Amino acid sequence: MKPWNLELIREKMEMVNTGNPFAVAMDIDAAGLPFLKNMQPPAGSKTVEELREIAGLAKKPFILKGIMTVEGAKKALKAGAAGIVVSNHGGRVLDNCPATAEVLPAIADVVGGKLTVFVDGGIRTGMDVFKALALGADAVLIGRPFVTMVYGGGAEGVAIYVEKLKSELADTMTMCGAHSLADIRRDMVMTPRDLERL
């Protein structure tokens, strides 16, 4: 869902709720972009109070996508979000913004365990999945590679890609001594900042 005005959000939420979704998500990172401001009705940034109202309308877990700062994560928690997606929309919303892997650890340190932390952006392999989990994500979201697999190989292409991800993740876990997803720890990966401290 886009961050439309509250009147349209109420209308859309009624439609969504009739479908009995397992969750409702809103991407908020592009709220100030001209194309959203020029939508009819316009979309734009929301206050914590407005987000809290929207979360209440959802009647299901409410997830906010586009969180890239600790402050944004705190606001999502305050607004009653059940989860956040640490996402920079593939770098398409704001040029030169940090990678999600750079901001994820600090965000997870503050809100991890209080809400579900998803992450996307640049995740292509099972090793990337491992890294994201080690940096504090509860789950990862992968988009573009699946589109490529569908175009290139349909359902079979997707199945092959999923098996590749699973195999790479399992291999990485084995090499790092993680017997289950719960065993994956931050100290199993090194970030550029970690290397600077050596």
| One-character DSSP codes across 65-96 | EEE-SHHHHHHHHHTT-SEEEE--GGGTSSTT
pLDDT of residue 194: 79
What is the mean predicted confidence (pLDDT) over 139-160?
95
Q: What residue ranges do the domains of the chain occupy?
A: 1-121, 143-198
Q: List, in order, residues 6 or more apart from 83 with CB less than 8 Å away.
A: 23, 61, 62, 63, 64, 115, 116, 117, 118, 138
pLDDT of residue 35: 62
pLDDT for residue 32 is more than 70: no
Per the listing, tokens 């017997």 go with: 179
Tell me what percent of the residues of the chain surpass a pLDDT of 70.
91
In tens, the pLDDT along 75-112 reads 999 999 999 999 987 666 667 789 999 999 999 999 99
pLDDT of residue 153: 94
pLDDT for residue 51 is more than 80: yes
Which run of H or of E encompasses 62?
Answer: strand 62-67
pLDDT of residue 37: 61
pLDDT for residue 179 is more than 90: yes
pLDDT of residue 34: 62
First vs last C-alpha separation in the chain: 44
Which run of H or of E encompasses 27?
Answer: strand 24-27
Q: What is the pTM of this model?
A: 0.91
C-alpha 109/C-alpha 161 separation (Å) is 31
Query: Domain 1-121 is classified in which CATH homologous superfamily?
Result: Aldolase class I (3.20.20.70)
Q: Which of 88, 89, 42, 84 is nearest to 63 (CA)?
A: 84
Residues serving a catalytic function are: 89
Query: Which pairing describes strands 139-140 and 83-86: parallel, antiparallel, or unpaired?
Result: unpaired
C-alpha 111/C-alpha 113 separation (Å) is 6
